[in-house]
């Protein structure tokens, strides 16, 4: 039986599944802050955290809005990581998903603005 609100038909390796569970247990401070605001449909739509999609583990995923939210820390500033992020965004975009990236610093210092942006993105879904 398919699981509700995930990408149907994809195969997820045991390693990716375990890694996503580990990432849920060990969330970054900014992920914890944002998750407290997204969980329980607080913004009117359902989000999943550390969701495996096309072999990637995305920070937050809203199936109804075809939306991926990524939180980027300082590691995302390096050239190699920027290339990896661009390739990942390309694959996810080709699947019809919208990808929005926020800096960890934005979540910590300006959470209301981040939440306002997410509400605007998901309104009407």
CA-to-CA dists, residue 30 to 1, 22, 46, 71, 93, angstroms: 34, 16, 19, 8, 24
For tokens 């495996």, the residue is: 52
Q: Is the pLDDT of residue 93 over 80?
A: yes
Does any domain span residue 8? no
Residue 1 within any structural domain of the chain: no
**Is residue 87's pLDDT more than 70?**
yes
- In this prediction the pTM is 0.85
For residue 7, tell me if it sits in a domain.
Answer: no
Is 63 contained in some domain?
yes
Domain of residue 37, residue span: 14-122
Question: In the structure, what pLDDT confidence band is assigned to residue 71 with cuts at 50, 70 and 90?
Answer: very high
In this structure, is residue 22 part of a structural domain? Answer: yes
Residue 79's pLDDT band (boundaries 50, 70, 90)? low
Q: Is residue 18 part of a domain?
A: yes
Asked whether residue 20 is assigned to any structural domain, the reply reads yes
CATH of the domain at 44: 3.40.960.10
Q: Looking at the 3D structure of the chain, how many domains does it have?
A: 1
Please check whether residue 31 is in contact with residue 71, taking contact to mean a CB–CB distance below 8 angstroms: yes
pLDDT digits (tens, 9 = 90+) for 40-62: 999 999 999 999 998 899 999 99
Cα 102 from Cα 26, distance rounded (Å): 19
């Amino acid at each position: 039986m398919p699981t509700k609100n995930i990408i149907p038909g994809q195969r997820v390796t045991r390693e990716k599944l375990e890694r996503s569970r580990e990432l849920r247990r060990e969330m970054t401070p900014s992920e914890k802050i944002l998750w407290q605001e997204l969980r329980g449909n607080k913004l009117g739509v359902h989000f999943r955290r550390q969701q495996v999609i096309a072999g990637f583990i995305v920070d937050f995923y809203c199936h109804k809005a075809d939306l991926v939210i990524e939180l980027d820390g300082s590691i995302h500033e390096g050239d190699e990581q920027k290339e990896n992020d661009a390739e990942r965004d390309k694959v996810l975009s080709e699947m019809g998903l919208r990808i929005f990236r926020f800096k960890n610093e934005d979540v910590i210092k300006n959470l209301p603005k981040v939440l306002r942006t997410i509400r605007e993105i998901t309104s009407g879904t």
